[in-house]
Amino acid sequence: MSERPLITEQEIRGRANGQSFDRGEDYFEGGYVENLVLRGEVLTAKVMGSQYEPYLVEVHFSGNTIARTLCNCPYDWGGDCRHIVATLLAYRRDRESLAERPLLATLLADLDAEQLRAVILAVADGQPGLVGIVETAVAQLQAGAVGEETAVVPKPINVEAIQQAIRGQMAQFAPSRSRYYDDWYDSDDYPDYGESLDPFVEQAAACLEANDVAGALAILEVALTEWFAQVKKLDDYHEDVFADTASDCLEGVGEVLAEALLSHDLSSQDKEAWRKQLKKWNKQLEDSTSLDVALMALEQGWNYPPLLRVIENGEITEQGAWAGERPWLADDLALARLRVLARQQKWQAYLWLAEAEGQLGLYVNMLAQLGRTEEAVAEAKQYLTSANEVLSLLQLLYEKGEKTAVFDLAAHYMTQATAGPQEATLAQWVRETAVKQKQTQLANQAATFAFYCTRSLQDYLAAEQIAGESWPTQKLPLLAHLSQGNYDMDAAEIYIHEKMLPEAMAEVEKTHYAHGSLMNVIEAVKDAYPD
C-alpha cells in the first residue's frame, strides 16, 4: 500500500464550525463510525445518525491535503458536517480501525466484459436504487456523454435517452411508488429532486468547454423540459416537500444555462420563447430564484449599456457593469460572461470585466496567463487577500517558469497574512516548492508559518528538518506559540518529541477526551514519572 495521507487535528477543526466539530467528536467517541476504509486517496465510512440507515461519508485526499468531502446527510450550514468530522477524527486518532483496500479500478482491471456484467448484475440485484443509477449511466452514454479525454459531445443528442434517464430517477417520487413516508425521510432529510439533472448539466458544461454551444443548449432544454414535466407528477407528499426545497433543486443549473444563452446568437423569436419558458419554470419552482441568472443573461445579452462601456471602452467605476445597485446574482452572471469571453479569446474585454466586477483572482490569473507577470504580482500584492486566490496565482506562475515572481509574492503574502486553514495549505505548498528550489530562507519562513496555522506535529517536524543546525534557536517561538490555547492532541505529541514531559502531561490534563494522546504520554513518562 502507498503511504497514507496525513491530516492534523487543527485541519479537521478548521474545516467545521464549533458545533459540528463538537458533535462529530461525540460521534467518534461514541463509536458511531463504522467501515472505515482507505482506497488510494479516498476514505469512506458509515456513520450512524438520526436515521435508521447510516450516513455515507467520502473524503478525497490530494497528497496530504483534503481535496473534498461528501456526506449524504442534509447538512448545509457551512463547513463539514458532524459525520465527516467523526470520520476524519477516526482516521486521525484510531488507525487500528482503518482497513486499506485496492482502488476499484485496480480491482476491476483484469475482469473481462462478461465478468464485469456479472458483477454489476449481482450488485444491482434487489437494489432498485442502484438499478436507476445504472440506467442513468447507460442513458448518458447513449446520449453522447462527455469523456474526460475527448471533451466532445457527438451530435445529434439522444433526446429519448435523456428523457428516460430523468423519468427513471424521478419515478421514485411518483404515486405508484408511495410508501409510508415516515420510513423514508424526516424533516431534516428531504430528497434531492434535482439530482437527476446533474449528469446533463455536467454534459452541457463540457459542451461549452468544447465550444459546442448548440449541443449545450439542446441538452439543457431537453433535460429541463422533461424534469419539469416529471415535477408535475409528484404525489401529494412530495409536492409539499418540493415546495419547501424548490430553491435548492436547481442549484448551479442557472449559471450553466446563463453561459449557454450568452454563448448563442439567438434570434428575437428564440429569445422570446426562452424568456416565456424561464418565467414559466420559475413559477413552477414556487417563484424560486434559481433560474434568475439565466433570465437576466437572456434579457441583457451583450448589449446592456453599462456592460458595453466596460468591455468595449474599459470604463471602470464603482458600479462595475451595472446602471444602479449590483443585484445579488451579479457575481454569478459575471462568471458566466467571463467564461464566454475566455473561450472567445477576447482577452482585453475579459480583463476589463473581471476588474470592474471585482473578480480579482481571475483578473490576476489572466494577467499571468498573458505573460504580464510583473502586473499580476503587483496587483496581487495590492489587492488579493484570499489565500486560495494567491495560491492559484503562485501555482500558475510556477507552471509558467516564473520562479522569481513566485518566491517574491509568496514571501510578501506570508508576511501579511493571518494564520488559518487556507493559509496553511498555501504555506505547505510554498514550503515544499522552496525546498525543491533550494530557497532556504523562504522554506524556513513557509515552514514556520505553516506551523503557526496548524500547530501540527507534521508541520513541526517539517520545520525541524528544514532548519537543520539552527533548529535549537528556531524552535523556541514555535514552542511558545504551542503553549497558548486549549488542548491540542498534536501539542502533546510535540512535547513528547522534544522530551518536554511535564508539558506533555499538562497538555492531556486539559481535556477528558485525550485517549490516544494520554496513552502515548503515559508510555513516554512512565519511567521518569512512575506515579
Residues 80-98 have pLDDT tens digits of: 889 999 999 999 988 888 9
| CA torsion angle 312 313 314 319 (round to 10) | -90
- How buried is residue 104: exposed, middle or buried, by Cβ count under 10 Å (0-12/13-18/19+)? exposed
Sheet holding 65-71, edge to edge: 65-71, 55-62, 42-47, 33-39, 99-100
Q: Are 59 and 41 in contact (CB under 8 A)?
A: no
Mean pLDDT of 223-245: 75
Work out the average pLDDT over 271-281. Answer: 93
Q: What is the tens place of the pLDDT at every residue in 107-161?
A: 888 888 888 888 888 887 766 556 666 766 676 565 554 333 333 444 568 888 8
List, in order, residues 6 or more apart from 439 with CB less than 8 Å away. Answer: 407
Alpha-carbon gap, residue 473 to 475, rounded angstroms:
6
User: In the structure, how many helices (H) and strands (E) does the chain have?
Assistant: 27, 5
Lowest model confidence (mean pLDDT) among 97-106, 129-138, 216-225, 331-340: 129-138
What is the reported pLDDT for 324? Answer: 85
pLDDT over 70 percentage in the chain? 81
Among the ranges given (38-42, 68-72, 466-470, 506-510), the one the predictor scored with the smallest mean pLDDT: 506-510
How crowded is the C-beta side of 47, counted as CA atoms within 13 Å? 31
Of the candidate ranges 232-236, 434-438, 503-507, the one whose mean pLDDT is the lowest: 232-236
Strand partners, 68: 60
Higher pLDDT, 492 or 137: 492
Confidence of residue 181 (pLDDT cuts 50, 70, 90): very low
**Rounded Cα gap, residues 501 and 411, in angstroms:** 35
E strand or H helix at 34: strand 33-39
pLDDT at position 216 is: 92
pLDDT at site 119: 85
> Which is higher by pLDDT, 497 or 77?
497
Cβ–Cβ < 8 Å for 507, 482: no
Q: What are the distances in angstroms from CA 182 to CA 51, 54, 190, 237, 238?
A: 11, 16, 11, 11, 12
Query: What sign has the CA pseudo-torsion 287, 291, 292, 298?
Result: negative
Q: Which residues 6+ apart lie within 8 Å of 114 measured at CB?
A: none
Among 187-201, 222-236, 437-451, 459-473, which is the least confidently predicted range?
A: 187-201
The C-alpha atoms of residue 363 and residue 354 are separated, in whole angstroms, by 5
Of 103-117, 120-134, 175-189, 339-353, the range with the lowest mean pLDDT is 175-189
Quote the mean pLDDT of the chain: 84
Q: How confident is the model at residue 453 (pLDDT cuts 50, 70, 90)?
A: very high
* pLDDT value, residue 223: 93
Distance of CA 58 to the CA centre of its chain: 12
Q: Are 213 and 260 in contact (CB under 8 A)?
A: yes
CA–CA dist 502, 484 (Å, integer): 16
Banded model confidence at residue 287, pLDDT cuts 50, 70, 90: low
- 309 pLDDT higher than 90: yes
Higher pLDDT, 98 or 179: 98
Number of C-beta neighbours around residue 123 at 10 A: 12
pLDDT at 136 (0 to 100): 63
Specify the pLDDT at position 142.
Answer: 59
Please tell me which residue, 250 or 270, carries the higher pLDDT value: 270
pLDDT value at residue 286: 72
- Say which DSSP state 488 is in: -
Spell out the long-range contacts of 146-152 with Cβ–Cβ below 8 A and sequence spacing 24 or more. 146/202, 146/203, 146/206, 146/207, 146/210, 151/206, 151/209, 151/210, 152/210, 152/212
pLDDT band at 311 (very low <50, low <70, confident <90, very high): very high
